[in-house]
Structure 1
Amino acid sequence: MSRINLLFILAVLGVAVAPCPAAGEIRAEADLRVRQEILDGVYHFTPDHDRNWIRVRSRVGFQAFTGSSVFHLRLTNEHRHYLHPDQDFDWDEVILDNASWEWRQDGTQVTVGRQDIIWPGGFLMLEGHPLDGSRSIYHNAVRLRSRGERGSLDLAMIRNFRYDDLVIIDDEERALSDADEVGFALRFERGGVHLAVIHKEENDLDLRTLTLNAGIDRELCCGRKLTGDLALQYQDGDDSLHPGDGWAVAGQAFLNGSVADVARAEAGLFYYSGQGNDLRAFRTPWGRWPKWSELYIYTLIGESTPGRVHVAAWENIAAPRLTLTRDLGRGVQGKLGASYLLAPEPDWQARGLLTQMGATFKLGHGVDGHLLWEMLDPGSFHDGNNGLPPLTETAHFLRWQLTWAL
């Protein structure tokens, strides 16, 4: 057993037996999420293009507060009922989703163990292991956060594994990421401007990346807000297709503001470089999640390369994007969106027009929900002439979801 695994097991035992003094507090947590997802024509790279499943995720845990310390433990299970194609039912795993000790003092926090790490917007840092979907997003990390008059600092030392050795019940030996990973992430923010650096090493296939990031998240006059990021990435390694070293680039820029006091609009664009003569394909360090689309994360699987599943792999993709949101009353918010997806390499072919329509709502007593419909009208990039499985007919993604939290 590796030392890192032993440390995390000891952390779990510490959480389980930690005494809570009379002056302390134990706070229970539990939530349930039920969603049905219908994918029509999305799995174009398989003989059966359609999927229909119901996903049920349950989480239970607690936080124990004692002095300046907080102990956190959370267990998670998510199982799927496949309606199409028909599959035998499986309760799936119960995993150790969070197990951490945190020390807090005068604007400083130190967190050790299995924990969620989310940077604002999630452009580069959110998802610790993209291959198991939205079941969990944890990192195994030591994290330091400090906030003061001169700004805020966020530093994390991360060690994630391709396979989880701490499954509690019914280990499926499921790959969580493409490789074992080790790295660090540092972010400094002051006055709505941030600078960040992320170093990441992936083992088997071997790849080292150093990502430098500068961005803005600032309120402007008249209720407008400007957000943007620019990321420059150096890569070195052997991914079997493109060995050696090189540079990659990614960015986003959006302006958000009110429209006639009846809705809010957000307009802008995003860009992730692809493999070409001058640039390499950008590898978002820990930003592989449905930031831009729920439908298209599955379409990208058709672009997988040896040893690497491209689910939510935002690379060689760019788009202008417009979204509108409006409060509809009674806790309901509606949203419309459109993105014209492009592939920068080899020659800026159209991936297609992606449209989105959805609504979120609150029912009270801890119950929330949402509805979502996405539609992709594929472009010439998907015509089958780029060495990829063809996608020539309109694809749809539909979801309803209900969540309850204690």
Structure 2
Amino acid sequence: MSRDRDWDSDWNTDWGGDLRLRQVFIGNVGLNDDAAIADRTFQRYRGRLWGRTAPTTWLAADARLIWEGRHYNKPEAADWPVPGFETWYSGGVLFDRLALSFDQPADLPFSLKLGRQDLVFGHGWLVLEGTPLDGSRTIYFDAARATLDLDAIETVLDLVYIDQNADTGRFPRPFNDAIEDQTEQHETGVIAYARNRALLPGRDLDGYFIYQHDRPHPTPRSIRVNNGAPFPSSSDAGDLYTIGLRVDGDLAPGWSGRAEGAYQWGELNQRTVNAFGLNAQLAYAFDDPLQNRLRADLEYLSGDDPDDATDQAFDPLWGRWPQWSELMIYQWPLETRVAQATNLFRLNLGWAAQVHPTTLLTFDYHALFANEESTRTPAQLVNLSGDGRFRGHLLTAWLKAKLHEHLSGHLVAEYLAPGEFYAAHRRDDAYFVRAELVLNW
């Protein structure tokens, strides 16, 4: 709930806040049960306050202030391989939203938003997460977004410029000077995104072009610091170009579907890129009291052929977030970086039901494969067997509840039985369990 106050006939403001509390248990990060830091148990406490003021109908400013701290029961600080691990960690107090919006000034059919803001295109496959290293604390982008609404042809055009800093060390800096890494490199980019509902009546047809330029942090380093943990994670350098097409909508009574494909080229880390990705879903919704729903997903992200000088590994760009698994976020560094999914063929069957007016229950099974026996760096090859491409069986379950107007929460559990794609010392079963409560006002 937000507080509204009319200052006069034009000027109004609103504000609100939330508090997110999480308890997390992870078994076998790295898929090796003998590792000292394989098991993680920790709590996360995130508070946010936001406000918005609009002196006119077309001009508004909004801001959101956040803080998140953590406490680790496991692992012990002495077991962490890199010095500096904090079992009690107080993060930065910073703005993850600070923007000025111009909404159809002088009744013109365009809008403009300048500053720190959230950006989500489609279902977030390639653009949603600007800060992958802080673990869902924030997802912000420092960006300028212009939107042109062409009602006559049922089309919306977005043009976005992104200038993302590798850490929180520039304006608006944290108030407590706790500087943290948010991504491994400085990133600039351009997104041109068109959404049309006229060409395929009743469905969204999207086309886009994305350019991303990566340059390493001016102070070369291989250790990043965020979430109370120093960890190795290399920078990228180069230019990537991505074009894509997406369709989403109803197919027949009860049936819906979406499909998105993208081609990628350019040069990254001194290698020519030639990559492809596909993400599709088919769903059926039953007309019954529990609103039962079945779905099937297919995802293909090309992998790098180690026998070819060209880099065929599809880059998820700003899509490094737990799109279908919380547990796999922690396993991707075995071959790439945190949440950097690539070299993947995924088949999924899922079910969802509204088991109570307040509660949604979902189950999913994922069969995971690799397309190539390859990694991001030569040092990571020790994590692969070289004798198979089956990543494993993944089971996930969610129980989401809206308990009250001001209280919601969820339970999530995942279990991974690794396959022969991983080396013999990386085949121990893994799990992820999280309980969350969110209070909002």
In the superposition, the TM-score normalised over structure 2's length comes to 0.81
Which of the residues 189, 194, 207 maps onto 2:206?
Answer: 194
Letter in 1 for 2:319: G
Counterpart of 2:296 in structure 1 is 267
Structure 2 residue 247 is the aligned partner of structure 1 residue 216:
yes
Which of the residues 221, 227, 237 maps onto 2:268?
Answer: 237
Aligned pairs for 1:136-215 within 5 A:
136-147=138-149, 148-150=151-153, 151-164=155-168, 165=170, 166-191=172-197, 192-204=204-216, 205-215=236-246
Letter in 2 for 1:113: G
Counterpart of 1:23 in structure 2 is 10
SS of structure 2 residue aligned to 1:134: coil
Asked whether the equivalents of residues 342 and 348 of structure 1 are also in contact (C-alpha less than 8 Å), the reply is no
Deviation (angstroms), 1:197:
0.5
Counterpart of 2:273 in structure 1 is 246
Distance 1:193 1:220 in 2: 13
User: Which range is displaced more, 40-49 or 288-297?
Assistant: 40-49
1:340-396 Cα shifts (integer Å, max 9, x gaps): 011100387111000011110011132111110000000001124xxxxx3212100
Deviation (angstroms), 1:312:
0.7
Aligned pairs for 1:10-159 within 5 A:
23-44=10-31, 47-67=36-56, 68-86=58-76, 87-105=86-104, 106=107, 107-147=109-149, 148-150=151-153, 151-159=155-163
Distance 1:364 1:274 in 2: 45
Distance 1:216 1:396 in 2: 34
SS of structure 2 residue aligned to 1:362: strand
Asked whether the equivalents of residues 359 and 371 of structure 1 are also in contact (C-alpha less than 8 Å), the reply is yes
How many residue pairs end up in the alignment? 374
Letter in 1 for 2:212: K
User: Which range is displaced more, 41-50 or 332-341?
Assistant: 41-50
1:29-51 Cα shifts (integer Å, max 9, x gaps): 21111111100112447532100
Distance 2:316 2:297 in 1: 19
Aligned pairs for 1:339-358 within 5 A:
339-346=366-373, 349-358=389-398
1:59-102 Cα shifts (integer Å, max 9, x gaps): 11200012111100111101111121245423221011111000
Counterpart of 2:383 in structure 1 is none
Letter in 1 for 2:54: F
Deviation (angstroms), 1:404:
1.6
Letter in 2 for 1:110: L
CA RMSD of aligned residues (A): 1.9
Long gaps (5+) in structure 1: 1-19, 305-309, 385-389
% identical aligned pairs = 28
Distance 1:203 1:338 in 2: 38
